[in-house]
Structure 1
Amino acid sequence: MSLMLKVTLVAVGRARGGPEAALVEDYVRRLRWPFTLVEVQARKATLQGEALKAEEAAAIRAKLPQGAALVALDERGRLLDSRGFAAALGGFAESGRREVALVIGGADGLDASLRDQADLVLALGRLTFPHMLVRALIAEQIYRAQTILDGHPYHRD
């Protein structure tokens, strides 16, 4: 039987329509794993800098599923290839954690406390990407990880 993970993506900010949103929808439709997108905002729009990141972190924490493995997307994180990312997700499931929450911070990034709390801090590269593009990239990588773990030929080395 194939591995089953429940995936939650918690992102700061609201999605707009457009090609990036269409890509996210396309990959989510392909997923066999249950997927939930949760969007959060800081409660106080007047905050800036570290105070804003702390407020966003609190909003993110409030939406994290209990007991889920936490993957923080951050440019300072580990650089994994697709097989490494799939292995990390598979490792969570094999250790009994069948739910994974991935988090995308706001424009100023993630609060350090969320990075410290994470089971995996993952970089999609050293470049900075727009948040909507990050959603599309991570949705595709989640789908790719599922196909790798299922032995499906979508991924080619």
Structure 2
Amino acid sequence: MNISRCRIIAVGKVRKRWVQEGVELYLKRLPGLGITELRDSTRDKEAEAIRQALRPDELPVMLMEQGVALSSIDFAERLQDLGSERLAFVIGGADGLSDALKTSARWQLSLSPLTFPHELARLLLLEQLYRARSILQGSPYHRA
């Protein structure tokens, strides 16, 4: 898994200091991973900003409650199977993603059947990306 071929597109800023510290920790552990922050607005305006932020060569991975829930090992294997694809993990704002964005995704991912604030979703995604890389590298970080 080449983490430099991944980025996160997230609506809204991380305002809680403790979440920001976690985000910074995982970004240090995942050099090359970028985060594009978009301003929160109406769902339609956020959807347009997301569409504009997506690059033509990126496979959009929409994070949503109704997406496919994977174990950490399955997530790592899915990332490995995608090989050299460029991935853009998309986290919507407080009102979620528009229906058009959801249906346009080639991959809909759920971090959990629970609903999280976008700040926590960003931190959870970063941790899972780090865990996936650790699993694929055989690192002791993941102890199943």
**What TM-score does the superposition give when structure 2 sets the normalisation length?**
0.91
Partner of 1:22, secondary structure, is helix
Structure 1 residues 51-96: Cα deviation after superposition (integer angstroms, max 9, x where no partner)? x322211101111133112111101111101011111111111xx4
Corresponding residue of 1:108: 95
Corresponding residue of 1:48: none
The one-letter code of the counterpart of 1:11 is A
The one-letter code of the counterpart of 1:31 is L
Partner of 1:29, secondary structure, is helix
Distance 1:115 1:100 in 2: 15
Contact kept, 8 Å, 1:69 with 1:92, in 2: the verdict is: no
State the shift of 1:17 in Å.
4.6
**1:5-16 map, 5 Å:** 5=3, 6-16=5-15
Contact kept, 8 Å, 2:13 with 2:119, in 1: the verdict is: no
Distance 1:141 1:65 in 2: 23
Corresponding residue of 2:20: 21
Contact kept, 8 Å, 1:28 with 1:143, in 2: the verdict is: no
Corresponding residue of 2:142: 155
Contact kept, 8 Å, 2:6 with 2:87, in 1: the verdict is: yes
**1:60-139 map, 5 Å:** 60-93=50-83, 96-97=84-85, 99-139=86-126
Cα RMSD (Å) of the superposition? 1.5
Which of 48, 57, 76 aligns to 1:58? It is 48
Partner of 1:39, secondary structure, is strand
**What TM-score does the superposition give when structure 1 sets the normalisation length?**
0.84
Could you list the runs of 5+ residues in structure 1 that have no partner in the other structure?
46-51
Partner of 1:15, secondary structure, is coil
CA change 1:39–1:82 in 2 (3 A) is same
Contact kept, 8 Å, 2:63 with 2:110, in 1: the verdict is: yes
Contact kept, 8 Å, 2:9 with 2:50, in 1: the verdict is: yes
Count of residues in Structure 1 that have an aligned counterpart in Structure 2:
143
Percent of aligned pairs with the same amino acid: 41
Contact kept, 8 Å, 1:86 with 1:146, in 2: the verdict is: yes
Distance 1:130 1:40 in 2: 15
Partner of 2:128, secondary structure, is helix
State the shift of 1:130 in Å.
1.2
